[in-house]
A and B are shown apart, each in its own frame.
Chain A
Amino acid sequence: MSDLLNVSSNPHVRDKVDTQRIMLLVIISLLPATVFGIFNFGIHSLILVAVSIISCVLSEYVFEKIVHKKSTVTDLSAVVTGLLLALNLPPTLPVWMAALGGVFAIVVVKMLFGGLGQNFMNPALGARCFLLISFTGPMTTFAYDGVTGATPLALLKAGEPVDTMAMLLGTTSGTIGETSALCLIIGAIFLILCGVIDLKIPGTYILTFVIFIVLFGGHGFDTNYIVAQLCGGGLMLGAFFMATDYVTSPITPNGKILFGICLGVLTGLFRIFGASAEGVSYAIIFSNLLVPLIERVTIPRAFGIVKEKKGGDK
């Protein structure tokens, strides 16, 4: 009786989904790309992945110990950050740089702004850009099979032919996790089926980007060129795994679409008109900064609220 009439405040229905579970699903979805990357680039990339994850988890633990906060290591978000950071690093990077990147991602980008849920930009990408600016040489040296060469995207920018099939499978040079578009798409489909991410952001991102390169890429509607642009660089990794980060993407439905359009246009601008061949990471962290503004202009109208007419009689 008393149970039946017990009046409590909401929420009344609880789901099993929590941060830890979502992070676990993200880790599982990244495994194909990670395993392929390690297989593709060798043992040093495994060390980089391990060091990056350990560095992130350890800095989260130590920072929370120092500032006497409850440890949030078990929610696995630091593991995801570390894994994403490692997938964004070139396979020949010195190990200590990966460790430094992990510390920067967690301490500067995440913890100093209040921990998970408060960070204003994606920690892994923040750290990648920190490393890219600080150590431009090692961060842009891509070796494949022991030979240092240009990434497919750089070849594409220089107007040279690229092997689109190899780019789809991932047997090319690039960062550890970005080369295999196929593995990334498998992981992304898994995430979508699990309901962790929806297609709004990656869909509009990729669509806008395709429209942009058809218009401004200088190749017109050349399927080979478009597929190469889509599979090359960090576009797939960024679109499905980093642009969809809950904390740093808009929560409003229209905002997600606007966010995707921003990402597509910026990536296109950086890739076609920019100095370097790749621009996904800068496009994402720049759009992260726009998220509060995007959310402000796309707040859905609540049912029954009539929008005030501008210039109406007063």
Chain B
Amino acid sequence: MNKNVERLQNGIIKENPTFVLMLGMCPTLAVTTSAMNGLGMGLSTTVVLVVSNLVISLLRNIIPDRVRVPAFIVIVASIVTMVQFLLQGYVPSLYSSLGIYIPLIVVNCIILGRAESYASKNPVVPSIFDGLGMGLGFTLGLTLIGIVREILGAGQIFGAQILPLADASTSKIGYTPITIFVLAPGAFFVLSVLVAIMNVIRAKAEAKGKPLPAAQGCLAGDCSSCGMSTCTGKSSTVEVAAPKEDKE
């Protein structure tokens, strides 16, 4: 069970997909105009991640290695289609505000990355927790960005007005929304500042002598948790995988 907790922690803190791995930047920048959108996108992705990791982990000994990517995509696309119909049926407002980004979850690199690097090589239960951890980490990142952008850009959190707006016609003193934060440039500003803050916290913790577990990458030799498919270090993993195929 300890490994499952480790997987959760890995996804949320150590290898947070938004702030550490920098994966899934397209929805991260595009849909986080409000906290609700960020949360909705994050949770939808979490559901897809958990179910796809579960299914792929179950099928990991059946899927031939050579066609694994198309197989993963078929599985992920089926799950995304189900999630899309559920959202359309039960939360139509969220569905319309997320728009094209729901079907695009199919090609979200976090999901394919976890399928490729974790679920296809590990047992079912840790894979579920891996998906859950990564999904929650993604949700955390998106919701944080959404909250900051919504406060600065509209003075609201989750749609509730927390900063009273200024009104020029009645000369009421209040907050004037900085519109740029709900537009595309604001996403980059907020993301970069949040990543910088995370790095400062990490550096401070390391200086104090109790380092936060850093992203291991391939330096520590743990290729199973690395999402970089283009990494040259992957060759060793391929070599490990090849004899297994022969055995079958």
Contact = CB atoms under 8 A, between A and B. Distances in A.
Interface in B167-183: 176, 178-181, 183
Contacts of A130: 180
Interface residues of A, number: 8
A136 B179 contact: yes
A133 interface: yes
B85 interface: no
B89 interface: no
B180 A133 contact: yes
Contacts of A135: 176, 178-179
A75 to B, nearest CB: 26
| Secondary structure class of chain B's binding surface, majority of residues | helix
Interface in A103-152: 108, 130, 133-136
Contacts of B189: 108
A33 to B, nearest CB: 28
A168 B176 CA distance: 36
Size bracket of the B interface? under 10
Contacts of A108: 189
Contacts of B209: none
Interface string B139-182: 00000000000000000000000000000000000001011110
A157 to B, nearest CB: 24
B185 interface: yes
Contacts of B179: 133-136
A173 to B, nearest CB: 19
Contacts of A100: 178
B179 to A, nearest CB: 5
Contacts of A94: 176
A114 B185 CA distance: 20
Interface in B116-135: none
A94 B181 CA distance: 19
Interface centre among A94, A134, A136 (most CB of B within 10 A): A134
A134 B181 CA distance: 8
A133 B176 contact: no
Contacts of A133: 179-180, 183, 185
11 contacts: A94-B176, A108-B189, A130-B180, A133-B179, A133-B180, A133-B183, A134-B180, A134-B181, A135-B178, A135-B179, A136-B179
Given A94-B176, A135-B178, A136-B179, 13 more contacts: A100-B178, A108-B189, A130-B180, A133-B179, A133-B180, A133-B183, A133-B185, A134-B178, A134-B179, A134-B180, A134-B181, A135-B176, A135-B179
Interface of B: 176, 178-181, 183, 185, 189
Shortest Cβ-Cβ A-B pairs, 4 listed = A134-B180, A134-B178, A133-B180, A134-B179
